[in-house]
Amino acid sequence: MSRAGKFWMVAALLGVVGMAFRVSWNALKDIAAAIGADPLAAGLYPLVVDGLMALALVAALILTGPDRRFALRVLGAFTAASLVLNYVHGLVPALHGGGRVRLADWAPAHYALVLLASCLPVGSIFFGSDLVAKVLHHRPEPAEIDQPSANRSGSELLESADPKRIEPLFELADSAPTAEPIPAPVEVVPVRPVRAVAAVSSRPRRSTGSVPQSARTKVPTRTPAELLAEARIATADWPEAELTAERIRTAVRTSSVNARGLRDTLKAERTATPTEPPTVADEDEDGAAGEESAA
């Protein structure tokens, strides 16, 4: 809605409220005169009732939470009271002339109406003061504080973002201390001690670095004669075709150079013709021949 439309709408509302107040003012003035108020007090009496209704309405628009509900209750109570008094003014024609008049023929109803009309000024003082105090001490919510920043330009937002220039708009109330929860009793179950067992892994461990010389296992050094003796024992039943340096190296657990030397030595020993020792018959023949030559 445009600004002009809002202006005319508010102006029309104020006109209607003013005319309604004038109608109600006549009835409340006669009621005040009927319960014994002087002309000046009777003329101010409508302002006490209907004026507090307007004040409660404004307070309900400003306040929030429980304070707003309180303002609405005050507005509803004084509206109902004004409605009852206007209704009684319409039922009793004698009130229109002014002066002290009974508000009802039935005594309990008359006393109740007089009590209501007499209590409204005191209630207006009490509730009006309370509403004004609530409005003056009202602090807007954080959402209400941040809402106007949506319509501000970017330069204004950057200037207000300086933490040294920003002042706190409200203080947070200290949170009430909360009682610590009582822990529930825990049943203690005895636990049997478990012996630690080393985990067995099927994968070989990878070396993480070179092993220092002092931590290495010392391998005894064998002489060439000992290597040859071990090679003879290991290859005694091997055929000559299987007499290779690699197989000798694996069997004797030596280096490739030593394995080749052992292979050559063993092959040379096998290819060489062994000298046959003389038999007993040959020795007898040699002995007989020697004896004959001596004779």
Residue 84: the pLDDT is 92
pLDDT confidence tier of residue 236, bands split at 50, 70 and 90: confident
Kindly tell me the burial class for residue 243, based on how many C-beta atoms sit within 10 Å of its own C-beta (0-12, 13-18, 19 or more): middle
| Tokens 């404004």 found at | 58
pLDDT confidence tier of residue 2, bands split at 50, 70 and 90: confident
The residues near 128 (Cβ < 8 Å, ≥ 6 apart) are: 52, 55
Q: Which of 83, 97, 93 is nearest to 23 (CA)?
A: 83
Considering only 33-47, 73-87, 189-203, 213-227, which range has the smallest mean pLDDT? 189-203
Residue 246: the pLDDT is 86
Amino acid sitting at position 157: L
Q: Is the pLDDT of residue 166 over 70?
A: no
pLDDT confidence tier of residue 94, bands split at 50, 70 and 90: confident
Q: Which of 107, 110, 169, 104 is nearest to 143 (CA)?
A: 169
pLDDT confidence tier of residue 262, bands split at 50, 70 and 90: confident
Residue 249: the pLDDT is 84
pTM of the entire predicted model: 0.46
- Determine the average pLDDT of the residues in 236-257: 84
Kindly tell me the burial class for residue 235, based on how many C-beta atoms sit within 10 Å of its own C-beta (0-12, 13-18, 19 or more): buried
Residue 71: the pLDDT is 93
Q: Which two tokens stand for residue 118?
A: 């007499």
Query: Rounded to the nearest 5°, which phi and psi values hold at 220?
Result: -65, 135
| CA distance to 21, 96, 142, 175, per residue, from 58 (Å) | 16, 32, 21, 31
The residues near 270 (Cβ < 8 Å, ≥ 6 apart) are: 240, 243
Q: Is the pLDDT of residue 104 over 70?
A: yes
pLDDT confidence tier of residue 264, bands split at 50, 70 and 90: confident
Q: Is the pLDDT of residue 219 over 90?
A: no
For the chain, report the end-to-end CA distance as a whole number of angstroms.
168
Considering only 81-95, 123-137, 194-208, which range has the smallest mean pLDDT? 194-208
pLDDT: is 80 or 286 the higher one? 80
| Tokens 């290859």 found at | 235
Residue 180: the pLDDT is 62
CA atoms within a 13 Å half-sphere pointing along the CA-CB vector of 118: 10
Q: Is the pLDDT of residue 272 over 80?
A: no
Beta carbons within 10 angstroms of residue 116's beta carbon: 18
Residue 144: the pLDDT is 47
Residue 295: the pLDDT is 43
CA distance 289 to 121: 176
